[in-house]
Amino acid sequence: MSNYVLNGSEVLGIEFGSTRIKAVLLDNSANVLASGGFDWENRLENGYWTYHIDDIWHGLQEAYKNLNNDCKEKYGSVITKLSSIGFSAMMHGYLPFDKDDNLLAEFRTWRNTTTAQASAKLTSLFNFNIPQRWSVAHLYQAILNGEKHIDDISYITTLAGYVHYKLSGEKVVGIGEASGMFPIDSNVNNYNESMLQKFSSLDEVKNLNWNIKDVLPKVLLAGDNAGTLTDDGAKLLDPTGNLQSGAIMCPPEGDAGTGMVATNSIAVRTGNISAGTSIFSMIVLEKQLSNVYEEIDMVTTPTGKPVAMVHCNNCCTDLDYWVKLFIEYSKLSGSNLTKAQIYDLLYNEALKGDADCGGLISSNYFSGEPVTGFSQGRPMFLRSENSNFNLANFMRTNIFSAIATLKIGMEILEKENVKIDRLMGHGGLFKTEYVGQKLMAGAMKTPVSVLSTAGEGGAWGIAVLALFAKNSFDLTLDDYLNEKIFSKFETSTLEPDEKDILGFEKYMMLYKKSLAVEKSAVENI
């Protein structure tokens, strides 16, 4: 048991990922004291990928309970007081509520590709890319569909915004999260006024009994006080009643923003790649892009700087399913290998494969993929009679597949001559030391760094933002991260290997051809 005594100065960060809710407890130096988690899974219901409201609260309470169990084991006591709290979640999506806080439609997550009509119309209207997963796209599509709940809307929010509201009473979101709801004007750090007016003037919108300005949550910057934990909020988080109210709450952020914080990538010409259930890159820009691209989201850092985001719906889901097969076989064979050991063995085997995967192709499209124009996905594994079919190539192609669509989007930034001084990696793909980092460096043709904090990911990132909200030392977030947080953490950097670069380029030529097979599968199976 540790000599550390929980004293109420600790900060809590909780992030709702697509498959896991993770909670971390930090001290004032951002060291992880304890962690807890809860696995959950989205459902496909009535044509929408969703989570039930009850699942949200059950998952939150279980993750927090497991965090407390870890505290009890390590320190002999549970949490009774916190100094600050931060909540984060998968970005985008649609949660509409009436004036009595009743959810009016199922929670429509980022994974849905059901808003093509709204997305296209708004992109044209704004001359600004509005991806299908953005909140305003879901809202406008519901209007176009004539859904009955539209007239009853009092406010809309995201998953992070919803949890924050229920625990604090404040209808707010961090600016990074807000930038995935509606376009942001980085000059004023708020929703773009001219675009708000254009939306309100649409024929289908102008006669509604609410205004878009009134239903969107208030925008806050990192470091702003976003309320405090209420008595009801404390009971909702900790039904045992041990947790006191009163903790400062930082603005809720999306996983993109917490990923930027967790990798110290909020400065201009820095970038990060988050690779988990979905995969996305975030590049902080020196200047706006010259054109509007459907493949590129324009969002912001938690401090409001413009960011080019390439977001792909599919990353490790299909890869994980293949690994689960090997885990099943391992159990069947009587092996005592742990899940983590099997992942490490298989990932390291990928390094032994042919640089181009020996002619094997994997399509990881478990759901639709807007970057390449797919409304639905069909996971597939492809090979020819001449392919070099072995375990090493099989694993390598599944990892390459997780990166391939991101590469298609990143090629646009290359053409825009976007400069990147450093690229940081975090998320599940990087958990096995060296492998994901090495293959990503080759794919992106740039050095990739991984911080020692990468395994903690977004939950740690939002906890750091909670620290900043209560204890900024009058520093900017950039300076706070550099001086107070990351100066003590180790960073490993891998330069791209020429063989990996050439191998991935060859793989991509075949991968792009295979999209025709994916298209046929979607249309016929």
Output 397 or 287, whichever has higher pLDDT.
397
Cα–Cα distances (Å) from 64 to 22, 77, 79, 169, 255, in that order, read 8, 14, 10, 20, 19
The residue type found at 497 is D
Please state whether beta strands 380-382 and 491-494 pair in parallel, antiparallel, or not at all (unpaired). unpaired
Alpha-carbon dihedral of residues 165, 167, 168, 171, nearest 10 degrees?
Answer: 0
Mean pLDDT, the chain, integer: 94
User: Which residues are bridge partners to 38 per DSSP?
Assistant: 21
Q: What is the pLDDT of residue 294?
A: 85
Measuring CA to CA, which residue among 184, 188, 191, 202 is closest to residue 125?
Answer: 202
Q: For the ranges 135-149, 207-221, 363-377, which has the lowest average pLDDT?
A: 363-377
Model confidence pLDDT, tens digit, residues 239-263: 999 999 999 999 999 988 998 998 8
d(CA 45, CA 250): 33
DSSP per-residue codes, 454-490? TTTHHHHHHHHHHHHHH--TT--HHHHIIIIIGGGS-
Residues 154, 96: Cα–Cα separation, whole Å: 8
Given a cut of 50, whether residue 73 has pLDDT beyond it is yes
All structural domains of the chain, each given as residue ranges with its CATH number in brackets, are: 1-90+225-263+454-494 (3.30.420.40), 317-402+499-524 (no CATH)
CA pair distance 251, 246, nearest whole angstrom? 15
Can you give the pLDDT at residue 372?
93
Q: What is the pLDDT of residues 162-213, one digit of tens each?
A: 999 999 999 999 999 999 999 999 999 999 999 999 999 999 999 999 999 9
Mean pLDDT of 470-478: 85
Q: Residue 464 is encoded by which pair of tokens?
A: 């750091």
Angle between helices 498-524 and 391-415 (to 10 degrees): 90
Q: Which residues are CB-neighbours of 2 under 8 A, at least 6 positions away?
A: 74, 75
Helices 457-470 and 255-262, axial angle in degrees (round to 10)? 80
Q: What DSSP element (H or E) covers 405?
A: helix 391-415
The pLDDT assigned to 185 comes to 95
CA-nearest of 94, 118, 88 to 302 is 88
In the block, residue with structure tokens 């597939």: 380
Check residue 453 and give its pLDDT: 55
Strands 491-494 and 297-300, sheet pairing? unpaired
The amino acid that residue 293 corresponds to is Y
- Is 367 in a helix, a strand, or coil? coil
CA distance 71 to 65: 10
- Between residues 265 and 144, the one the model is more confident about: 144
DSSP assignment of 333-355: TT----HHHHHHHHHHHHTTS-T
As a whole number, mean pLDDT of residues 15-36 equals: 95
322 by DSSP, 3-state: which?
helix
Q: Where do the DSSP E strands lie in 116-226?
A: 155-157, 172-174, 184-185, 190-191, 218-220
Instruction: Judge if pTM exceeds 0.85.
Output: no
Q: What percent of the chain has pLDDT over 70?
A: 99
At 364 the pLDDT is 96
The amino acid occupying position 18 is: S
- Residue 130 phi/psi, 5-degree rounding, is -115, 100
Higher-pLDDT residue of 472, 303: 303
Q: Output the CA–CA distances (angstroms, integers) from residue 252 to 156, 192, 225, 304, 495, in the order listed.
A: 15, 20, 11, 14, 35
Confidence of residue 153 (pLDDT cuts 50, 70, 90): very high
d(CA 391, CA 406) in angstroms, rounded, equals 24
pLDDT computed for residue 131 by the predictor: 92
- Coil, helix or strand at residue 361: strand
Q: Whole-angstrom Cα distance, residue 306 to residue 287?
A: 8
Q: Over 50: is that where the pLDDT of 322 sits? A: yes
Helices (H), 192-316: 193-200, 212-215, 231-237, 255-262
Average pLDDT of the residues in 226-235? 98
pLDDT digits (tens, 9 = 90+) for 371-407: 899 989 999 999 999 999 999 999 999 999 999 999 9
**Main-chain dihedrals φ then ψ at residue 260, nearest 5 degrees:** -65, -40
d(CA 254, CA 105): 21
- How much is the pLDDT for 491? 86
- Region of residue 127 (phi > 0: left; psi between -120 and 50: alpha; otherwise: beta): left
DSSP state of 134: S
User: In this predicted structure, what is the pLDDT of residue 184?
Assistant: 96
Q: Measure the CA dihedral 268/274/280/283, to 10°.
A: 10
* Residue that has been written with the tokens 């979101």 in this structure: 173
Residue 454 has pLDDT above 60, yes or no: no
For the cut 90, the answer to whether the pLDDT of residue 458 exceeds it is no
pLDDT digits (tens, 9 = 90+) for 478-491: 999 999 998 888 88
Q: Which of 428, 416, 433, 415 is nearest to 494 (CA)?
A: 433
